[in-house]
Structure 1
């Protein structure tokens, strides 16, 4: 698979707590240079980044991140604030405890509420697959589909595990035709990226792929 094609699937990501504006700006520069799908950055930097890149790069940010257990009202407020600041895409974390409790109706309503707050922007729903049973993963595929979200996303990258090939294949097989899959967490090689795309991931949440490509350029590949 062509490297440019892989990069076009990447949400170039920097979500470390200690991230500075200079680091965020560098990620934006890289996202622009390498033709990434978006940059995924902390909410506090969304307005500054949106002003910096203009209409040349999509800005993605996170809601209820990384634990997912803030209230629905807080997630809605966070989403509205992010959209006002210029976010083009929202990656929200579900209440994982509700999934473990089988509170599917509440999860459905929460995702619907956040989707409505997106005002037409893309919504990706992070389900933190490493904490779920197979049955819970399948049920969440149905919930995310019913809620009208645009993507189901495997992981925050801040829990006990990241994306797996098995989970991407499972999600692709169980979401509706209008829901895409985002693999995130632990995508460290071009082979990883290509595998996930071939299994059905439309987006990759990663900081490593651009670094790899930059390294290849330095080495003259």
Structure 2
């Protein structure tokens, strides 16, 4: 089975268009947000300092604004992460992404991990909370335990990567999806990292990811749109 994408609009609705470049200028961020508006992605994901700009630029659209907590290393203390969540909530963020504390995970301090994620979920309430678990840095059993922790804590999604350390083959992504689905069947999945073309995006969705994160979202959708809209044939007349 192949995921049935009907048109470029549907494809864009399955992508969280991401720009977490720490060297980006305000004018470059505005260009990024214009691209997001052009194709109407599910969300944009931007750094905390650009949330107010994103909210202003996208106010007349349905595009959600996402941002990050403890990015990209996740080793801040719980109080700092909770405070960051409160600040983002006040700025109007719709979807929150927190990087899991990998040190706690390696030491199997599951109680501390669950408490941290639960506190953040209490802050964001009915807004979407994603837990980034950095699968490329983990053994399979650690991925399973991280997914279970996220589900037990009330998070809405497991996200597989910050983008700094990414699986380098579709089979690794499929393995991650299988592990998460088996050990945390209620939680949704976002695959992030290395998705730069439609065929790869389609494989990820077919494998069971609920949504895709990509800093190449615009290029993916534009290429697909051109493929669909520029495929033209001239049928010969039918004679009976």
TM-score per shorter chain, which class? over 0.9
Q: Structure 1 residue 26: deviation in Å?
A: 2.1
1:153 aligns with 2:159: yes
Task: Tell me the residue number matched to 2:74.
Answer: 68
Q: Distance in 1 between matches of 2:108 and 2:155?
A: 20
Report the aligned-residue RMSD.
1.8
Q: Secondary structure at the match of 1:18?
A: coil
Task: Tell me the residue number matched to 2:56.
Answer: 51
Task: Tell me the residue number matched to 2:211.
Answer: 203
Q: TM-score, normalised by structure 1?
A: 0.92
Superposed CA deviations along residues 102-159 of structure 1, whole A, max 9, x for unmatched, are 1111000011011111132100000001111111111112111110100000000012
Higher relative CO (Cα under 8 Å, sequence separation at least 6) belongs to 2
1:120 aligns with 2:126: yes
Task: Tell me the residue number matched to 1:77.
Answer: 83
Q: Structure 1 residue 45: deviation in Å?
A: 0.6
Among residues 119, 134, 138, which one is paired with 1:132 in the alignment?
Answer: 138
Q: Distance in 2 between matches of 1:68 and 1:30?
A: 29
Q: Distance in 2 between matches of 1:55 and 1:89?
A: 18
**1:102-117 maps to which residues of 2 (within 5 A)?**
102-117=108-123
Name stretches of at least 5 consecutive residues in structure 1 with no aligned partner. Answer: none
Q: Distance in 2 between matches of 1:62 and 1:68?
A: 10
Task: Tell me the residue number matched to 2:178.
Answer: 169
Q: TM-score, normalised by structure 2?
A: 0.85
Q: Distance in 2 between matches of 1:107 and 1:116?
A: 14
Task: Tell me the residue number matched to 1:37.
Answer: 42
Q: Structure 1 residue 218: deviation in Å?
A: 7.0
Q: 1:195 to 1:158 in 2, by over 3 A?
A: same
Q: Distance in 2 between matches of 1:8 and 1:152?
A: 18
Q: Structure 1 residue 89: deviation in Å?
A: 0.5
Name stretches of at least 5 consecutive residues in structure 2 with no aligned partner. Answer: 231-240
Q: Structure 1 residue 180: deviation in Å?
A: 0.5
Do the aligned residues in 2 keep the contact of 1:13 with 1:27 (CA within 8 Å)? no
Instruction: Give the aligned length.
Output: 220
Higher alpha-carbon Rg: 2
